[in-house]
Amino acid sequence: MGSVKDLEVLEHPSSNKTGRGRFIFSDRYSVFDWGEMPDHIPNKGKSLCISAAYFFEKLKSLGLKSHYLGLVEDGNKLGRLSDIEIPVNIMEVKLLRVLTPLHKSGRYDYSIYQTEKNNFLIPLEIIYRKSLPKGSSVFKRLEEGSLKLEDLGLKEMPLPGQTLRKPFLDVSTKLEETDRYLNWPEAKDIAHLDDSEIEDIKKITLMINELIDKEAEKVGLKYEDGKIEIGFDEERNLIVIDVLGTLDECRFTFKGMPVSKEIARLYYRKTDWFKELVEAKKRDSINWKEKVNLSPPSLPPRLKELISMAYCAFANEITGRIWFPKVPAMKAILEEIISYII
C-alpha cells in the first residue's frame, strides 16, 4: 500500500457492496517523499494502530460513520480496543472502490464521478488547520496569491506559529500524480458533490478537528493541523476512511518542536543527503530521486529509541491505558529530544 502501512485485501469491493481488508501497520517511515528509510522505528506500527483505533471508536461515540471494523488479535480474532490484551498492528476495515480519474491532454477527467454514485473514495483530501506552524504551505500560497487572507478569516499576513481564531478547512486532490490545492467550488465540481454533501463533509471535519484538539491537549501537545479522507458507502452515506488522529496523520508540536517522524526530518535536514536531495528536486521535479547519489544515513541509536518511545507514550496517554510498559511520560521524552536535536 505504501512506505508506512500495507493493505491485505480479504474481499474486493464492488459498486454495490463494500469489501473487507486489513491495514498492517509497519515500523517503517518515510520523509521528504523518499520512500522507505534505512531504519525501522520499534513499536511504531503497533502504537499507530492502537491510536487510530482509539480515534475511530471515538468517532462512533460521536455518531460519525467510518470504515473501521476492529483490531485483529491472534491471527483472526476481531475485537474493539477493550477486547485486546496486548498491542497489535493489524486493523480490519471496510474497503471502498478507488475510481482513478483519466489523464487526458495534460488534464484530469473526473466524469466517472458523475455516473458512479456509491461505494467509492471521494477523490479529495480534507485538511483542517488550527494554526499555521513554520513551513506550512499556507504561507507560500498567500505569497503566490492562490490563497487570500479572507479565506483564513484574517486581515493581516499571519506569522509562523499563529493560532487561527477558527479552524481553516483546506482541500486538495487525492488521486493525481501531484496533488494540488482546490477551492471548495472546484472540489465540489470534480467530485460531483451537491451542496449538502459539501456542508456535511465540512461538519464532519470540524467535529474531528475538535476531538483531536481536546485529546492532544490532555497529553500536553499543541495540535496544529491534520487531514482526513472520506468516502461513500453502499447507500451513499459519508464515512471516514484510512486513518486519523495519529502522530503520522496530524501535526503536533511540543514547545515549538514538531513531534513524531517530524523529529527525524529535523535530524536529516542537517545531513549532506538532504542537501543533495533538495538540489535534485530543483533540477528535476519528477525524476529527482534518480539524481541523488547519496543514501540517507541511519538515525543515531538514541534518537531512534526516543522517537520509538514518543510513539508508544502517545498511545499510552491518549488511550489512558498502558500498552507499552516502562515507557517514560510523553513530556519527559520530548524534553530529551529537544536537548538532543538542538
Reported as type and span, the H/E element at residue 166 is strand 162-173
Query: Sorting pLDDT into bands at 50, 70 and 90, what band is 332?
Result: very high
Residue 331's pLDDT is 93
| pLDDT score of 197 more than 80 | yes
**Amino acid making up residue 326:** K
Residue 287's pLDDT is 87
| pLDDT score of 260 more than 80 | no
Q: What is the pLDDT of residues 160-170, one digit of tens each?
A: 888 898 899 99
Which pTM does this prediction carry? 0.92
CA separation for the pair 224, 227 (Å, rounded) = 11
Alpha carbon of residue 216 to chain centroid = 15
CA separation for the pair 211, 59 (Å, rounded) = 9
CB-based contacts of 143, cutoff 8 Å, min separation 6: none
Residue 104's pLDDT is 83
Q: What is the mean pLDDT of the chain?
A: 92
Residue 222 belongs to domain with CATH number:
3.30.470.20
CA separation for the pair 12, 21 (Å, rounded) = 8
Residue 177's pLDDT is 81
Other Cβ atoms less than 10 A from the Cβ of 259: the count is: 25
Query: Sorting pLDDT into bands at 50, 70 and 90, what band is 76?
Result: confident
| pLDDT score of 149 more than 70 | yes
Query: Sorting pLDDT into bands at 50, 70 and 90, what band is 275?
Result: very high
Residue 301, all three cell numbers: 541509536
175-179, 198-202, 319-323, range with the lowest pLDDT: 175-179
Q: Which long-range contacts (CB under 8 A, 24 or more apart) does 4-8 make?
A: 4/28, 4/29, 4/30, 4/248, 5/45, 5/48, 5/243
Residue 103's pLDDT is 87
Residue 112's pLDDT is 95
| CA nearest neighbour of 2 among 30, 22, 44, 31 | 30
Q: How many domains does the chain have?
A: 1
CA separation for the pair 153, 131 (Å, rounded) = 12
Domain enclosing residue 334, as ranges: 5-341
| pLDDT score of 3 more than 70 | no
Residue 136's pLDDT is 83
| pLDDT score of 1 more than 60 | no
Q: What is the pLDDT of residues 277-330, one digit of tens each?
A: 999 999 987 889 999 999 999 999 999 999 999 999 999 999 999 999 999 999
Residue 2's pLDDT is 62
Residue 340's pLDDT is 79
As a whole number, mean pLDDT of residues 16-34 equals: 93
Query: Sorting pLDDT into bands at 50, 70 and 90, what band is 243?
Result: very high
Instruction: Answer with the residue of higher pLDDT: 14 or 106.
Output: 14
Query: Sorting pLDDT into bands at 50, 70 and 90, what band is 333?
Result: very high
